[in-house]
């Protein structure tokens, strides 16, 4: 394997409602993070996995993941970007492809990990998995008045894992300013081309209670 995968898992899960940090909440009897790491580890290209855990749960997460796959666990930060930076700093010498994933995308198929890594291997600096946007999108003002309709055909919903040539991701994080919601955004700011590959509906981000119910259902039908 020539790939390191960073798995930020230090978020609270506010939108999921009160409870444990989201990555530690159960999905079909196992924590979301266990599902996510198991699928990442099943991708043949993966050499190294680094998880950024909630700072108070680092030891518990190490114990939880030990039977699942060999992983390095570091404390995450207050923002996702800080958690990614902490995980990136823990990647050993070797892997020249780095993927940044979300623990919350717990059902992401190993095939998607492989296809993102393959596109980097093919020579792209930065690769993101995307899906078409299905809803009509309106731009609104502060009073919720419609300003206009956005051309949906030119829009994409972005998933993880996002893949990078290691040096590109390291440079982007060195220059990171305002917190963005994804790593490709940092790379775009460096003026580096970002390429899209087809995403997967199974890579949905478990964000709200509805998503957790959907994931439970997908697992019960064999996902």
Return the residue of 1, 12, 130, 195 that touches ligand CTP, per CB under 6 A: 12
The CA distance from 194 to 118, in Å, is 14
Residue 13 binding result from Mg ion, ligand CTP, none, given CB thresholds of 5 to 8 Å by partner type? ligand CTP
Asked if 16 contacts 25 with a C-beta cutoff of 8 angstroms, the reply is: yes
Residue 165 binding result from ligand CTP, Mg ion, none, given CB thresholds of 5 to 8 Å by partner type? none
Residue span 189-218 as binding mask against ligand CTP, x where in contact by CB under 6 A, dash where not? ----------------x-x-----------
The residues in 11-50 that bind Mg ion, with binding defined as CB under 5 A, are 11
The CA distance from 125 to 187, in Å, is 9
Residue of minimal CB distance from ligand CTP?
11
Q: How many residues bind Mg ion (CB under 5 A)?
A: 1
CB atoms within 10 A of CB 63: 11
Residue 125 binding result from Mg ion, ligand CTP, none, given CB thresholds of 5 to 8 Å by partner type? none
Residue span 78-117 as binding mask against ligand CTP, x where in contact by CB under 6 A, dash where not? xxx--x------------------xxx-------------
Asked if 74 contacts 83 with a C-beta cutoff of 8 angstroms, the reply is: no
Q: Which stretch binds ligand CTP (CB under 6 A): 14-22, 58-66, 187-195, 212-220?
A: 14-22
Alpha helices in the chain (DSSP H): 32-41, 58-65, 80-89, 110-121, 166-174, 183-189, 209-220
Entry field: residues in the chain = 223
Distances in whole angstroms, Cα of residue 128 to Cα of each of 86, 160, 206, 210: 21, 7, 18, 25
Return the residue of 9, 126, 169, 212 that touches ligand CTP, per CB under 6 A: 9
Return the residue of 14, 142, 146, 193 that touches ligand CTP, per CB under 6 A: 14
Contacts of 175 (CB under 8 A, 6+ apart): 186, 189, 190
The CA distance from 213 to 220, in Å, is 11
The residues in 22-41 that bind ligand CTP, with binding defined as CB under 6 A, are 22-23
Asked if 11 contacts 80 with a C-beta cutoff of 8 angstroms, the reply is: yes
Q: How far is the CB of 118 from Mg ion (least distance, A)?
A: 29
Question: Where do contacts with ligand CTP occur on this chain (CB under 6 A)?
Answer: 8-15, 22-23, 52, 76-80, 83, 102-104, 205, 207
């Amino acid at each position: 394997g020539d790939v390191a995968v960073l798995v930020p898992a230090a978020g609270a899960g506010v939108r999921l409602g009160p409870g444990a940090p989201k990555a530690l909440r159960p999905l079909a009897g196992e924590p979301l993070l266990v599902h996510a790491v198991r699928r990442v580890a099943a991708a043949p290209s993966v050499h190294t996995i680094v998880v950024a855990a909630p700072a108070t749960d680092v030891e518990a997460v190490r114990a939880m993941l030990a039977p699942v796959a060999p992983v390095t666990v570091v404390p995450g930060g207050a923002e996702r970007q800080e958690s990614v930076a902490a995980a990136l700093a823990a990647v050993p010498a070797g892997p020249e492809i780095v993927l940044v994933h979300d623990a919350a995308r717990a059902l992401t198929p190993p095939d998607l990990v492989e296809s993102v890594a393959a596109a980097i291997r093919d020579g792209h600096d930065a690769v993101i998995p995307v899906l078409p946007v299905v809803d009509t999108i309106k731009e609104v003002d502060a009073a919720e008045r419609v300003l206009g309709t956005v051309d949906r055909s030119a829009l994409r919903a972005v998933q993880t894992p996002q893949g990078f040539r290691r040096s590109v991701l390291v440079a982007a994080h060195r220059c990171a300013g305002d917190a963005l919601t994804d790593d490709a955004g940092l790379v775009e700011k460096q003026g580096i081309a970002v390429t899209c590959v087809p995403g997967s509906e199974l890579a949905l981000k478990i964000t709200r209670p509805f998503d957790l119910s959907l994931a439970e259902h997908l697992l019960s039908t064999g996902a």
